[in-house]
Amino acid sequence: MTAQDNDAVRRIFGLVLRHLRRQAGMSLRDLGERSLYDYSRISRVERGEHLIDPELVPSLDHALGAGGLLVSLRALMPANGTPTQMPQLGLISGLPITDGDSVTVEFRLPDRREVRVSLSRREFHRLLATGAFVGTLRPDLAETDLTERVARAVAAPQRTDPQVLDYFRTLLEQHFVADKMLGPRALLGQVHAQIEILDGLRRGGRPGTGEPTLRLLARYAEFAGWLHQDCGDVAAAMFWSDRATQWAQAIGDQQFVAYLLVRRSNIAMLDGDAVDVVELAAAAQRVPGPISPKLRALAAQQEARGWAMHGDADSFRIRLDAAADLLRDHPDDVDENSPVYLRRYDLAALEEQSATGYRDCGHADTAVAILERRIADTPAHLRRDQAHQWVKLANAVLRSARPDPERAAALGLSCVPAARTTGSARIAGELRTLSRTLARRWPDLAQTDELRDALATV
């Protein structure tokens, strides 16, 4: 954790402490007497100038009736300054409202009291990247009737409330952003809970009126499949992709059916099944109906990855060029019902995804150049994404014309914490490949044993 991360943790801890103290009607002296802690230090804590020792936090938490909230927040930065694992607060009711450069975050205590604190966008992103906001994500906190609308829809789902569906649609977009920082472990529970709510709305509605809910359910199920895939659970990934396909077919959403074929092709990569990867991606391009050029580009890219797995460099390049041509000719050809990923899919994403294919085709130096460019352009707070890029680069470095095992091992070791905290099987899989290669080719390198030992805890 960097010094800037420490500053962000201190600031949010102080803001929450001050809010709770004022809500309880206590002065600084009152709280000091009840918690047996120097009131002048409490003042410094509230201003973000000092972070209280963890063993002293429970007395403050108890004096304010915070239900463990202060203890959980303090756990974001243990005494030695290095987080041992991602804390699971379970008390944050939402991702925030944003207003210019500020972000408002709401915490809900067990007794139903609420705490709202304002942070700068920079502070919020630092905290999000450390795992601070792992609870149920809730945007649009400024809408005072939103919670009541959701509650009414769940209790009486006979009529579909468009505003409630918009709420869950926005939530899904926030999950997509959070996944790039936190990885699948932090989000799976929330996504499953939200699918259950949406499915309840579907089953409680009047037959023939459920298309908007089914469309949203299909997108949630697809995202659940992705999270399970990133956790390395192929069976669960396929189950949720199949469920998403069923819901998409029920409303005749052929474009999403095609997208899910691409997703199934991507899942097949976990099994190393190059034939399935190619054939499912090719099938996506044959789905009848109006299919977005960007989706056809994604399918061509996925087919190219399958050909690379198969060792066919010529077919890999042909399909990759076809994808690039489609993206150049149709850079913005998506609509509001397109998958979230497709809206952000562009030539830069295509280039990054092609790196593994070049590596598999025996062109590791090209892969190294691509990954170095993409890493330079990836924001630092996207830690899950950045770690995946680093470890892919490490493996490409070992297969390049001039392998550098010291650099590769150092890159791999830097990714181990992200593999632990995010639960990403993609990062862990690349790390194990790296460890095996080092053990086979450079067994006497000191970092070879260091990486092997570090992976024992992943």
Strand order through the sheet with 102-108: 97-99, 102-108, 114-120
- Whole-number pLDDT of residue 141: 35
Q: Is the same domain home to 396 and 281?
A: no
Strands 114-120 and 102-108, sheet pairing:
antiparallel
Q: How far apart are CA 14 and CA 46, in angstroms?
A: 4
In the chain, % helix, strand, coil (3-state, to 5) comes to 65, 5, 30
Q: Are 257 and 249 in contact (CB under 8 A)?
A: yes
Of the three residues 237, 252, 267, the one that is the final residue of a domain is 252
The angle that helices 347-360 and 293-310 make with each other, rounded to 10 degrees, is 10
Q: Is the same domain home to 396 and 335?
A: no
Q: Is the same domain home to 120 and 28?
A: yes
Beta bridge partner(s), residue 115? 107
Give the closest residue to 157 by CA, choosing from 87, 118, 90, 207. Answer: 207
Q: Render 248-270 in DSSP notation, one character per residue.
A: HHHTT-HHHHHHHHHHHHHHHGG
Residue 135 resides in a domain? no
Q: Is the same domain home to 247 and 264?
A: no
The pair of structure tokens assigned to 208 is: 């023939």
Residue 95 resides in a domain? yes
Q: Are 237 and 225 in contact (CB under 8 A)?
A: yes
Residue 217 resides in a domain? yes
Q: How far apart are CA 37 and CA 267, in angstroms?
A: 54
> For residue 231, what are the CA distances in angstroms to 53, 297, 454?
35, 26, 19
Of the three residues 359, 392, 420, the one that is the final residue of a domain is 359
Beta bridge partner(s), residue 99? 102
Of the three residues 252, 287, 311, the one that is the final residue of a domain is 252
**Which residue shows structure tokens 């190294």?**
368
Give the closest residue to 425 by CA, choosing from 452, 391, 398. Answer: 391
Across 80-227, the runs of DSSP E, i.e. the strands, are 97-99, 102-108, 114-120
DSSP 186: G
What lies within 8 Å, CB to CB, of 333 at 6+ separation is: 292, 293, 294
First and final CA of the chain: distance in angstroms? Answer: 19
Number of domains in the chain: 4
Q: Is the same domain home to 245 and 320?
A: no
Residue 138 resides in a domain? no
Q: Is the same domain home to 37 and 91?
A: yes
Q: Is the same domain home to 331 and 377?
A: no
Within 10 angstroms of residue 99's Cβ, the number of other Cβ atoms is 10
List the chain pLDDT tens, one digit each, 458 residues: 455 546 666 777 888 888 788 878 899 999 999 988 898 999 999 888 888 888 888 889 889 887 777 877 777 665 544 443 333 333 333 443 444 455 566 655 555 555 566 666 555 544 443 344 433 333 333 343 555 666 666 666 666 778 888 888 888 988 888 888 888 987 887 788 789 888 888 888 888 788 999 999 999 999 999 999 999 999 999 999 999 999 999 999 999 999 999 999 999 998 899 999 999 999 999 998 888 999 999 999 999 999 999 999 999 999 999 999 999 998 877 777 788 888 889 999 999 999 999 999 999 999 999 999 999 999 877 889 999 999 999 999 999 999 999 999 999 999 999 998 889 999 999 999 999 999 999 999 999 999 999 999 88
Q: How far apart are CA 422 and CA 412, in angstroms?
A: 15
Q: Are 54 and 45 in contact (CB under 8 A)?
A: no
Q: How far apart are CA 183 and CA 163, in angstroms?
A: 28
Q: Is the same domain home to 248 and 293?
A: no
- The region that residue 403 occupies, defined by phi over 0 for left and psi between -120 and 50 for alpha, beta otherwise, is beta
- Whole-number pLDDT of residue 95: 40
**Which residue shows structure tokens 């450069």?**
101
What lies within 8 Å, CB to CB, of 38 at 6+ separation is: 32
Enclosing domain of residue 71:
3-130
Radius of gyration of the chain from Cα atoms? 24
Residue 136 resides in a domain? no
